[in-house]
Structures are given as structure tokens and as C-alpha cells.
């Protein structure tokens, strides 16, 4: 899957008016964007069926991945924009609010 994901690299952004420290932090974070996207795709693939953002976060925590919950949630719309995941419906909980289910598209298949 890594070869297919080579084109996923993103850059974290800082505004031109931000201090130099923000630009340095954005540059350092850029590697984490790509790595977190790869991790999210691997989690969804291993799950084998549509998954919620909360479940992706939970698996990342159990696996002790070095990404914040916020970073892991952010990967889903990023990957959707790139065509690697789609919104596959919603959960139907008896209580509480429903959550979006995410699934892989055919875009990550290396064959």
C-alpha cells in the first residue's frame, strides 16, 4: 500500500503573517500529515468494513500511534478529497447522535 500512497503527501500550512515559529512547526508537521494518512488507511483496511472517526481514533490510541485524536480525525476528509475514502453511511445508535461511517474506495488497490 505504501507505493500507492506515495502521492498522498500534504504540507501543513502557516499563514504568511504567522511568526517564524509557526512556519517551523508547520514544516515539521508535514511529515506527520502523510504518515497519519497512511495509518488511517491501514486502520480502515484492517477493520474490513466501514468505520467511524471515533473508532479510527481508538485504534490509533491502542496501537500507540504518535498522532493526536485531532490529527487522526483530520485525515478522513483529507483522504476523501484525494479519493481514497468515502462516506459510507451513518451509525444508528439507540441513544446519542449518529456518526459518519468511512470506507475505502478502490483507490488504494495496487493491482
Q: What is the pLDDT of residues 47-106, one digit of tens each?
A: 999 999 999 999 999 999 999 999 999 999 999 999 999 999 999 988 989 999 999 997
For the chain, the domains span 2-108
| 8 A C-beta contact, residue 76 and residue 53 | yes
Return phi, psi of residue 29, to 5°.
-75, -20
CA distance 11 to 28: 9
Confidence (pLDDT) at 28: 65
Residues whose CB falls within 8 Å of the CB of residue 23, separated by 6 or more in sequence, listed in order:
14
Label residue 19 exposed, middle or buried (CB < 10 Å: 0-12, 13-18, 19+): exposed
Average pLDDT over residues 13-34: 75
DSSP one-letter code for 63: T
| Distance between CA atoms of residues 99 and 108, nearest Å | 24
CATH number for the domain whose boundaries are 2-108 = 1.10.10.10
Amino acid at each position: 500500500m505504501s507505493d500507492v500512497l506515495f502521492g498522498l503527501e500534504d504540507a501543513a500550512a502557516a499563514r504568511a503573517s504567522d511568526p517564524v515559529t509557526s512556519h517551523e512547526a508547520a514544516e515539521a508537521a508535514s511529515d506527520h500529515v502523510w504518515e497519519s494518512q497512511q495509518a488511517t488507511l491501514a486502520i480502515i483496511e484492517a477493520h474490513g468494513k466501514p468505520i467511524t472517526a471515533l473508532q479510527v481514533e481508538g485504534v490509533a490510541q491502542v496501537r500507540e500511534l504518535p498522532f493526536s485524536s485531532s490529527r487522526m480525525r483530520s485525515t478522513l476528509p483529507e483522504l476523501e478529497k484525494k479519493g481514497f475514502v468515502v462516506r459510507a453511511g451513518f451509525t444508528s445508535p439507540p441513544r446519542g447522535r449518529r456518526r459518519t461511517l468511512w470506507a475505502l474506495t478502490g483507490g488504494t488497490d495496487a493491482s
